Structure 1
Amino acid sequence: MEADREPLLKDDKSTVYDSIYPNQAIVINTSNNTSDDDILKDIGDKVVHETKLYKRRWYILVVFSLIAFAQGGIWNTWGPIAEASEEAFGWTDGDIALFANWGPIAYLIATFPLAWIIDVKGLRPACVISTFLVAAGAGVRCITDNPDYISWTVNIGQLLNGLAGPVAMGGPPVLSALWFPANERTTATAINLVFNNLGLGVSFIIGPYFVPDKPDKSNTTTFNTSTTDNQSIWYNISQINEARIHKERAEIMKLMYWECGLAVLVFLLVLVYFPNKPKLPPSISASAERVDFKSGVKQLFRNGKFWLIGLTYGVSLGVYGRWQSVLDVILKPHNISEEQAGWLGFYSLLAGCIVTLAIARFADVFSKHMRLFLLFLYVGAAGSLVWFTFLIQGTIPNSQIQLYASIIIFCMMIGSTSPLYFEMACEASYPVAEGVTNLVLTLLNNIVV
């Protein structure tokens, strides 16, 4: 964690760490009067004071954000088109829920291996592996639309996509620490998280766009056609229309091809240029060497402050994420169509993205008040969720405007807490590497899911 910022959960002490750059040692002083001049101590004939902010850091941020965008959007493919895909392939709501569940299941498998890769090998190998998994998962889903086999290909594809989740969700603070100075770190982390949410939001729009709502089966109409033999043949259009099913399958496969193309593009961007870290650190304290992976994991599991932060984050964001992924299914009994649910999910996530960036920027400027920001966000989220519950239960007169408003405010408030939690977790666990800290933090989220 940056030495020139006041810790959120602090103990007054100074500790000397080795540097990842030659002939340096770093003194991390958590007192209020620390400055960069206090940080560096000479341990050899030469001390390197030079730091540099690279303009390319914004390109690296965009590429990494696209990883989160693609992974999140592809993971959330099936919720927004649940009704059409259930008819096309004979699935149930349970099948749709399983597709979403592969994300947290795979997260449990991949968290510690990817944390080790980030800590020991660097961010680039982890990103190459993750983008390959996302592209491979999207490609597997394109193999067939045969109902006898597509359940297998979709489940495998969702599993592969989920294995990339730890880097997409837990990697942003690592990138921020490597490339950005202290006064931009929370904002950079928030931008990454915003792109992950945008991927989810866009999936609510793109899915129903490619796979529109099917006709209402409740409207049963019959008509009579006479043959040349004057025999009457009655057709009941309430029966499942085979031509419509074939059309739905074709539309779903078209969506699969587009998502696969996006995943392959992101994989190529990472493969072409995505360095492990800059040649020079963005700040002096950013060059401090973190403890090794094994020691870091041990320290993390003994750190009570981290677990207080992690459990609060995991319970609240985990429940929110699962609720969000099946929003279409939740609203189906209340006469909300797939298209309406899609736009509702999009507006909710878009509002959350805007507030997330604003809160993150305030947190960079007013770092002493993060807990106050969290309290404000949770009070707003709780109030809007109570409002939503009363509307659904009929306690207060239901209206579509109120339903939209309650969901949008809830998503906006609860979704904006993530970058604050990441920053607090990094400070509470320092000098454990950011990759280990935040991948374990987001693991708690996925355990709850």
Structure 2
Amino acid sequence: MATDKDEHKEDAAIFKDSGEDKQLLPQKQVQIIDPVKAVNSLGECCEKDPAEQRISLKAYRRRWIVLFVVALLNNLNTMLWIAFSPISNHVDTFYGRDSTIYFSAVYIFVTIPIGIFAIYSILIAAWANGIGAFIRLASSFFPDDMPGFRFPVGISGQAIAALAYPFIMFLPTKVAAAWFPDNQRTLATTIGVMSNPLGVLLANLISPMIVGSCEHVKILNILFSVPSIILTVVASVAITSSEPKIPPTLSASKPSYPFIEGIKKCFTSKQYLVLLLVMGGGIGMFNALYTLMQQLLCPSGYSNQFSGFTSALLITGGVVGATGASFVVDRTKLYVETMKVSMAVAVGFGLVFLQLILHREMDIWILLACFIFGVFGLAAYPVGLQLSAECTYPVSETTSTGLVVLSGQIQTIIYLSVMKTLATPLQLLYRKYEVCTLLKVAEHDHLSSIPPTCGHGNISINVADNEQTVEPMDFTLSIIVMSMIAAFIVLILLLLFRPKLRRMEMENVLLSADSGKELEVGVKIEEEKVNLKIITPDGVQNTNEN
């Protein structure tokens, strides 16, 4: 049998260019054994191979409860964020001019400073989300003669709910790594992260259906806030630990870098920096797109309902694509190939979609392009998050994923600013088609036909002067610039991204035997059943079936 020194050389070969801390490399041949069957399977262990030094693997059934809470929390928090975007005209009437932009932007601005310090914690996220939802709900009940209190209270609740967002966005990959076996990691990540765009889908479907005037905003707040408050209680009862006592995989059993050291490792990895730019760009563009979806479509005559349906179809395609990609990647481990194909196709159809929305009566083609864009665009999201963990291992998944999310939020601010800055007032020639305003003043002969202002004096329509509350904008130049940026980002991915899958390589090292002898470890985890084939110190194989 080879010496420990030889083993270290073999193990370190994978990381010879990375300067990896050798304390994180395996110090001896790793053997896997179910702790309950250890003595029965192998008899008494010799001093050179004590049972307590073996790594035990176990997948707990309650991992699905943890994942369910994280996914639902992600979903509800996103709904609180996005619910006002598809009904911006009515929300601006209820809370005040441009309030929709502030309700959306506060999430982005809060995430950036809080995200750096966000530590893995489901309960912090649940309570911040629940309290914020309750305060925003309370803002709905100020009477019409006190409209000035609605926005300050509502935006305060939104800001508190936004505190939960960085915690929530960093959870899926960490939960997948800590609780799930390697053949379920990408699927678990997909379920966790896709609950975010699923929240976008539900918000874009439900909001236009519920809100027909500013008076209905109160109903919408009740509908979205109550489930968040209930989930706070459920999470407090159901979540008792952040990690299982026994890890489900070999990589989960190894220590991670401290936070500051992990940050340094991430920013010194060229491949991770490429992924940081590309994934951040994808997240930023997606956020900007669905935040401005209604404003992008309404100048061409597409209604709030169509905008909501378009966003819903985008997410539906994304759920299909991400689920399919997760199954493929979990079985083939083709992370990089899946990421590149998904991003390339997504950008292609995304550019088509952006061009189509500039034209009238293109409903079917817009929906088709949107669906395909969603299938491939959101398929890249969970795969990219897994890649961030793979190419930075043994940096904590919280750190590697968190930086990607922060990059996405920063780029969201940039892209929103670019699109709003480059937008110009819609030309008079095309204003007869737009449906951005609350009503067409020319169509109303009497003041009584004007919708209620819900007590907000600064949101009104001056019939005499033919003034309208919402200025329709032309986003043609914005779309051209964003299309160029998207094409640039995907070229960087295709040409420069060639990472090592370090976590997967390390697991292979941990499973390899010395002296050319292969350590056979057949790990088949079905719920809590483990089937193991183990080589004992004297070279004898013992099979333990549980």
Q: Can you list the C-alpha shifts for 1:208-257, whole angstroms capped at 9, x where unaligned?
A: 22212x5xxxxxxxxxxxxxxxxxxxxxxxxxxxxxxxxx32x2112112
Q: 1:337 is matched with which residue: 299, 303, 313?
A: 303
1:274-285 → structure 2 map (5 Å cutoff) = 274=239, 275-285=241-251
- The one-letter amino acid paired with 1:64 is V
Q: Does the Cα contact within 8 Å between 1:109 and 1:163 map onto a contact in 2?
A: no
Q: 2:224 is matched with which residue: 255, 259, 262?
A: 259
- The one-letter amino acid paired with 1:78 is F
- The one-letter amino acid paired with 2:116 is F
Match of 2:425 in 1: none
1:99-110 → structure 2 map (5 Å cutoff) = 99-110=103-114
**Does 2:91 match 1:129?**
no
Match of 1:226 in 2: none
Match of 1:229 in 2: none
Unmatched tracts of structure 1, length 5 or more = 1-9, 19-24, 29-33, 119-125, 215-247
1:35-114 → structure 2 map (5 Å cutoff) = 46-92=52-98, 95-114=99-118
- Please provide the CA RMSD for this pair: 2.5
1:210-229 → structure 2 map (5 Å cutoff) = 210-212=210-212, 214=213
C-alpha deviation, 1:375, in angstroms: 2.3
C-alpha deviation, 1:353, in angstroms: 0.8
Change in Cα spacing, 1:27 to 1:376, as seen in structure 2 (3 Å) is farther
- The one-letter amino acid paired with 2:135 is V
Higher relative contact order (CA 8 A, sep 6+): 1
Paired residues in the alignment total 378
Q: Does the Cα contact within 8 Å between 2:300 and 2:358 map onto a contact in 1?
A: no
**Does 2:104 match 1:138?**
no
Match of 1:269 in 2: 234
C-alpha deviation, 1:16, in angstroms: 4.7
Q: Can you list the C-alpha shifts for 1:403-426, whole angstroms capped at 9, x where unaligned?
A: 111222223321221111111111
C-alpha deviation, 1:35, in angstroms: 8.7
Q: Does the Cα contact within 8 Å between 1:422 and 1:438 map onto a contact in 2?
A: yes
Match of 1:415 in 2: 378
Q: TM-score if structure 2 supplies the norm length?
A: 0.65
Q: TM-score if structure 1 supplies the norm length?
A: 0.78
Fraction of identical pairs, as percent = 21
Q: Does the Cα contact within 8 Å between 1:15 and 1:27 map onto a contact in 2?
A: no
Q: 1:294 is matched with which residue: 251, 254, 260?
A: 260
Change in Cα spacing, 1:27 to 1:73, as seen in structure 2 (3 Å) is farther
Structure with bigger gyration radius: 2
Name the CA distance, whole Å, in 2 between partners of 1:144 and 1:186: 40
Match of 1:325 in 2: 291
Q: Can you list the C-alpha shifts for 1:286-332, whole angstroms capped at 9, x where unaligned?
A: 11111112222222222222111111111122112111122112111
- The one-letter amino acid paired with 1:370 is Y
C-alpha deviation, 1:104, in angstroms: 1.4
**Does 2:154 match 1:154?**
yes
Name the CA distance, whole Å, in 2 between partners of 1:303 and 1:335: 47
C-alpha deviation, 1:90, in angstroms: 3.9
Change in Cα spacing, 1:283 to 1:388, as seen in structure 2 (3 Å) is closer
Name the CA distance, whole Å, in 1 between partners of 2:22 and 2:51: 18
C-alpha deviation, 1:45, in angstroms: 7.7
Name the CA distance, whole Å, in 2 between partners of 1:90 and 1:104: 20
Q: Can you list the C-alpha shifts for 1:29-75, whole angstroms capped at 9, x where unaligned?
A: xxxxx9977xxxx7978313321111111121111111111111111
- The one-letter amino acid paired with 1:298 is K
